[in-house]
Amino acid sequence: MVEKAGRAASMKFDNVLIRFFPAVYSEANFVDRTYQELSRHGFTADNTIAIVDVCRDEISQPLLRLVKDKWGEAFNLCSLAGMFFAGRTALLAAMHHAPRVGGRERYVFFAIPHIAVDGSGQVGVCERPGVGESNACGALNAFLKELQKGKLNVSLDENDLEQSLLKARLLKEIPYGQIPDLLSLTRLVQKLIVTDLENALQPIIDPGKCDYAVLSGIQIHGPDGNYVCPSPGYAIVQGARQDILLTGAKCL
């Protein structure tokens, strides 16, 4: 199911979305709908802090702005590719900044890596103003290029810390000798971001006083705007897990 973001995109773009992404929302609608779903579980802009992890890329930032417009100023965990490198210290800071309403704290995490699909259906390709044809995610693309060359620098480069960490983290997951395509790699990154966030979060969160939600998916840059293909989300409310599933995306 694909919902149109703005003016009509090309058939080839639409076909890529239909083929590779089970449901796609304009990112504004993704933010609206997840807000509606979470408000049913007690999360509102007045009692919740939003915590956002997307790629540093400027074309990813509209999602951060939409979250801010809906939820208020968001704590920023962004990194190259949206990898979760901010760690426990950042999570503790974000949690300390959450409103305390009715004796509880509430957090909503948005953990969403990105990929581009251009009008002719090329995966990983986008147009940037003043640049022309470009790529997203560039950090994942750079990693893939090193893999393809068979020459991967895995040392910790102090002048390139995030990319060094990205490579080390991904190499733990990719079987030796295999080179994924960009879409497979983006899907892997989506799962890793959530896993790494959860692993850092679990030891420090107190469900006795905190409710939280984790929303994820893949941000897609299309020729007519940004979309989100959501992954199944969830909320932990009073210690009990509630599924956050979006339904009702319009078919093309």
| Site of interaction with Zn ion (CB under 5 A) | 55, 57, 137
Name the residue nearer to Zn ion (CB basis): 57 or 118: 57
Smallest distance from Zn ion to CB 18, Å: 24
Name the residue nearer to Zn ion (CB basis): 46 or 133: 133
Smallest distance from Zn ion to CB 146, Å: 16
Smallest distance from Zn ion to CB 128, Å: 12
Name the residue nearer to Zn ion (CB basis): 125 or 137: 137
Neighbours of 236 (CB within 10 A): 18
Name the residue nearer to Zn ion (CB basis): 58 or 206: 58
Name the residue nearer to Zn ion (CB basis): 55 or 95: 55
**Residue 107 contacts residue 38 (beta carbons within 8 Å):** no
Smallest distance from Zn ion to CB 206, Å: 33
Smallest distance from Zn ion to CB 51, Å: 19
